[in-house]
Structure 1
Amino acid sequence: MSRPHRTGGPRPAARTPRTARRAGTPRTARGTVRPTAALTRACLALALLAAAVLATASCSSDGRKSVTLDVLASSELADLGPLLDDLRHDTGVTLHMDYQGTVDASDALTPGHYRHDLAWLSSDRWLRLRLAASGSRTGLPLSTRTMMSPLVIGMRRAAAERLRHASPDGRISWADVAAAAATGSFRYAMADPRHTNSGLSALVGVATAAAGTGAALRPQDVACDRLRGFLTGQAVTGRSTGDLADAYVRHQDGTDALITYESELLALNASGRLREPLEVVYPEDGMVLSDYPLLLLDPAKRPAYDKVVAWLLGEHAQRKLMERTLRRPLDTGIRRDPRLRRPIGNALYFPDQQQVVTRLLADYAADTPKDIPGSAPTGPPPPAAPASQALFLLDFSGSMRGERIAELRAAFDGLSGSDTSHTGRFVRFFRGERITVVRFGSRVLAERTLTYRDEKDLAALRAFVASEDFDGSTAVWSTLDGAYDRVADLLRAGPGRPLSVVLMTDGESNTGIGLDTFLARYRQRPAPVRAVHTYAIRYGDAGTAALDRAAWATGGRMVDARTGSLLDAFQETRGCVQ
């Protein structure tokens, strides 16, 4: 039964604090206070107020909702820090950057297994090749270019003057750099192309220039390694573009040049870290251009991606990108920094087949020392890789007298550096190369092996070829069989040594063992010996069938010197190894 409601008169005082309660507040059966409707409304209002405060914390100052995106980014984009603050302020989008070398970052991107919302790379070309080769059905993520910077060469003034003086036209090309590096007179810093886009772009640029086709590299353009001379000049490296710059600063006194992005060179020149500023050289035979695409990895983040892209391509951001990073804006209407007004010139194509780039990287790994300053230590220094070696078997039978031997000597002069043509500068003998020359007739007349360290070695080689010691007969197959005995000895002494055999003859074999006997013996040799190829040069009256058969049986090929010069034929075999 309910208690009677009092009307009028004073309210009785509570007897004790434990039983005190507000008038009108009913007591529950257990004696606790039940809230009234008014109190409930008040609590709800406080809860809504707290929620509003929390909601405001995830919005920008003008009420836009804030978004944070995880971005896999090329390491050189670490210079964007202040601009990213502006982006967050203007759009409400925060980019959380995870920096890696571009090649490493591209290797980490697998459709269906992306761990980031966006990727911002210096170039997406390697990623495109990987996705195409994998047969991915999703294709390349949505991609938008944001700015540009060409891959150039920063040279110390004295080095640039030397190369201009030696160049046939006074302009510096990749071919000039390769020729100077091959002689040991030009040392440069270049990032590791297995990890960085700047290093990979340099490798592709030099290889494209060496091919001389003016088009994207094809597998046949890299079948023979034409970059060995160029790579002998690499003195400093780094696993990222920033690491490379730091390593160059440490070794600048002994290094002639730094191969990297135009923006990086300009920033380094302005940093005060160099004892002399580097001249920015734009190679005449072309450069690879980076365009810094922003890729959408998570389609659900498309609205935020669109905001970021719209902001980056706006006039204000494009100008700030140029001013703060020294990269070229996409907006042609923006007045360029004076340092960025030079035309880019010949932009080289990037290969459209993954196997081409894979071959270039494999050759790089085989050609470069493992302990170049700036490389990341991974344990005790590895043993030095065996030097590459070419074995030249030269026919000195009587039919080679006169004009033919003169052309042979001219060919070796060209390989020693007298040929200043574009091709000649890439395929000349290079510092550290081991060269074996065998003069033969009815037997081996003489053999000479030397390592090219300076011009005295090349002079000795030319003198050896200048001999007038001719013989009356031609033992082609006995000589080639003996060369493979020599190959077996070399491989026992230095497993993995890059080797090739170049056989030049102007006639038919008329003494010694026959071709069938040579081939039978060749097939019985150990696999590493059989992996060494023979490149046969047909000259003068030599027949085609036997030379072609022998070359193909060993994995090589025949080159016909009668369709061009003997020098051209020798140059075609350069860098062709097992």
Structure 2
Amino acid sequence: MTAVVAHSRSRALAVLLALVCALVCAVALPACSRDEAAEPAPDDAREQPATNPDPSSDPEADPDVAGTTLRVLAGSEIKDMLPILEDAQAELGITVELTYQGTLDGTETVMAGEGDFDATWFPSNAYMTLFDEKSALVSEEASIMRTPVVLGVKRDRAAELGWDEKSPTWAEVVDAAASGEFAYGMSSPVSSNSGFSALVELATAISGTGAAITAADVDVVASDLTRFAQGQALTSGSSGWLMEAYDKDSSAVDGVFNYESLILQDPDLVEVIPQDGVITADYPLTLLSGRGEKVEAAYGALVDYLRRDDVQQRIADETHRRTDATTPDDERMVFEIPFPNRLATVRALLSSWVSEVRKPANMVFQIDTSGSMGGERLDALKAALLSLTETGADGTAALLTFQPREMIRFVEFASGIKSEKDLVVGEDGNLADVSSYVNDLSALGGTALYGTLQHALELAAQTRADDNVTSVVLFSDGENTDAPGIDGFAQWYEANEAVQGIPVYAILFGEASADEMGRLAELTGGRVFDAGDGDLTAAFKEIRGYL
């Protein structure tokens, strides 16, 4: 969370009163919007003394926003805006509290009236417009910057494919992925706006209708989506982490689907914009309804600051996004693909992707049930795992549950391995066996973390294949108590090629070592998810975007 503070300022609103005689008609001046300048007052009117010299006594004056807090639910993509927000402290008098959540599930949170937020700042409100609740829950929105979701291809591969000279169609991208000529990375469409936009771009283009995709079109394009999915070799739950993983080791892929602003930051990537169109994120800062005068004024002050000419130029320079300060000469032309106009279409497309189209997940859950996990901690762990079996969940939450074709392996450990369970989710999606296993977990013993992690990685390697996405999820609430330690594990890992490239996603909880979990994630190409506040369910659901 980041706080941004700035000096208050008031927007002057002049109410001009003119005396009229019988032969002169009354003249009314139009009101000004945030983007319009007020017309100059007549000279004689300007010479009149102010009727309200004290702004505090003027009922039309904006309230003093100094000290006002603006709580914003935002996409993690705007983290690169933090320096600009921090510099706003010199000019505004507000505090901006940022809480990060994915665009789709964050939108559903707000539309359900959950959370105490004053505003949102997602890459796009396109998904939000599909909800009937939007008109009642949203007061105002203002686009701050723009960036299309495009394809970044390694310079040499772009030349080999001919995409550096002539942009391919989406159908040509599908053919290249299906034939093995083009391997790519893409974030999860369920949790990340860039991945979701890329999926909509593809599905709409190959539907061939020339219009927004419909639920009926989803079945028609499913086979081409499946062919496209064969080329995915890197996945992620967020756009930023996708680029981090690519920058760390790009050997597995030829390119990535992501925001233009991120692609342009890598000099080794060539920006490729498919001929038949893309979707542009416009980052609308959105005020929610009924938040009070001071919050509304704070929102207005922040929007005015961010849309100021010099700040728009700074955003363009520092984040590589398109703004009002960029010109057609600075931007590559794009054809804009229409967004689906029905919520049912979005959900049908996402459901098809996770349950039928994408490569199935091959997951090993290494679960600590040592003695320290007794009581509330074990209850929280069970609740978090069971949340991934809730087949009756609504919206995107239903897509975070375990899906048909996925393989789930549990390795329960304490001083050693306590139990193992292999489960494959059938076409009917029945997860009763998973629920039964989780409910039987019990707490007892020490914490042989790294020895059992070696076993979990070996299990994962046994079933790793080009047609699945393999990973290990490590959960522990304490520090390792048995040999080997982190150093011994690192030596073992570097000597075992079979397990290399399998990411370990570690959940930081309880007394687990943040330093060791960070080192483990760095070593294996995984990531640490902080559940230090005790919200294990949120951590497990976030991880699902990476599996």
TM-score, normalised on structure 1?
0.50
352, 355, 371: which one pairs with 2:341? 352
Find the counterpart in structure 1 of residue 524 from structure 2: none
1:479-538 per-position Cα deviation (integer Å, ceiling 9, x unaligned)? xxxxxxxxxxxxxxxxxxxxxxxxxxxxxxxxxxxxxxxxxxxxxxxxxxxxxxxxxxxx
Please identify, of 201-210 and 87-96, the stretch whose mean Cα deviation from structure 2 is larger.
87-96
Find the counterpart in structure 2 of residue 320 from structure 1: 314
Structure 1 residue 217 displacement after superposition? 0.9
Distance 1:384 1:287, change over 3 A: farther
Distance 2:283 2:317 in 1: 16
Distance 2:250 2:207 in 1: 31
Matched, 1:292 2:270: no
1:34-90 per-position Cα deviation (integer Å, ceiling 9, x unaligned)? xxxxxxxxxxxxxxxxxxxxxxxx984999723221111101101111111122221
CA contact (8 A) 1:67 1:94 kept: yes
Find the counterpart in structure 2 of residue 310 from structure 1: 304
Find the counterpart in structure 2 of residue 159 from structure 1: 157
Find the counterpart in structure 2 of residue 42 from structure 1: none
**Aligned counterparts, 1:359-374, within 5 A:** 359-366=348-355, 367-371=357-361
**Aligned counterparts, 1:189-208, within 5 A:** 189-208=185-204
240, 243, 246: which one pairs with 1:242? 240
Aligned alpha-carbon RMSD (Å): 3.3
180, 183, 190: which one pairs with 1:184? 180
**Aligned counterparts, 1:101-112, within 5 A:** 101-110=102-111, 112=113
CA contact (8 A) 1:188 1:234 kept: yes
Matched, 1:89 2:90: yes
169, 174, 177: which one pairs with 1:173? 169
Find the counterpart in structure 2 of residue 283 from structure 1: 274
What letter matches 1:155 in structure 2? Answer: V
CA contact (8 A) 2:145 2:321 kept: yes
Structure 1 residue 111 displacement after superposition? 5.1
Q: Secondary structure at the match of 2:162?
A: helix
CA contact (8 A) 2:187 2:239 kept: yes
Runs in 1 of length 4+ with deviation above 3 angstroms? 58-64, 111-114, 370-373, 375-387
What letter matches 2:349 in structure 1? Answer: L
**Aligned counterparts, 1:86-485, within 5 A:** 86-110=87-111, 112-129=113-130, 131-132=131-132, 138=136, 140-164=138-162, 170-224=166-220, 225=222, 226-267=224-265, 269=266, 277-299=268-290, 300=292, 301-329=295-323, 331=324, 334-335=325-326, 341-366=330-355, 367-371=357-361, 380=409
Structure 1 residue 356 displacement after superposition? 1.1
Matched, 1:71 2:62: no
Structure 1 residue 364 displacement after superposition? 1.1
1:113-152 per-position Cα deviation (integer Å, ceiling 9, x unaligned)? 44111110100111222x23xx666154421111100001
Q: Secondary structure at the match of 1:253?
A: coil
CA contact (8 A) 1:236 1:372 kept: no
Q: Percent identity?
A: 32
Structure 1 residue 191 displacement after superposition? 0.3
Structure with higher Rg: it is 1
CA contact (8 A) 1:151 1:259 kept: yes
Distance 1:149 1:76 in 2: 11
Distance 1:372 1:319, change over 3 A: farther
Distance 1:191 1:116, change over 3 A: same
CA contact (8 A) 1:128 1:140 kept: no
Distance 1:72 1:163, change over 3 A: same
CA contact (8 A) 1:72 1:98 kept: yes
Find the counterpart in structure 2 of residue 447 from structure 1: none
Structure 1 residue 209 displacement after superposition? 0.7
Structure 1 residue 432 displacement after superposition? 7.0
Please identify, of 60-69 and 253-262, the stretch whose mean Cα deviation from structure 2 is larger.
60-69
Distance 1:323 1:236, change over 3 A: same
Distance 1:372 1:357, change over 3 A: farther
What letter matches 1:253 in structure 2? Answer: S
CA contact (8 A) 1:288 1:348 kept: yes
Distance 2:206 2:366 in 1: 29
Structure 1 residue 342 displacement after superposition? 3.3
Distance 1:372 1:189, change over 3 A: farther
Structure 1 residue 365 displacement after superposition? 0.5
CA contact (8 A) 2:73 2:106 kept: yes
Distance 2:271 2:134 in 1: 40
Distance 2:180 2:425 in 1: 18
CA contact (8 A) 2:150 2:272 kept: yes
Unaligned runs of 5+ in 2: 10-63, 368-384, 386-407, 411-421, 428-465, 469-547
What letter matches 1:173 in structure 2? Answer: T
CA contact (8 A) 2:6 2:89 kept: no
Distance 2:317 2:362 in 1: 34
Distance 1:385 1:432, change over 3 A: farther
CA contact (8 A) 1:114 1:297 kept: no
Q: Secondary structure at the match of 1:287?
A: coil
Q: Secondary structure at the match of 1:380?
A: strand
CA contact (8 A) 1:175 1:210 kept: yes
Q: Secondary structure at the match of 2:409?
A: coil
Structure 1 residue 385 displacement after superposition? 7.9
Q: Secondary structure at the match of 1:94?
A: strand
**Aligned counterparts, 1:414-563, within 5 A:** none
CA contact (8 A) 1:163 1:172 kept: no
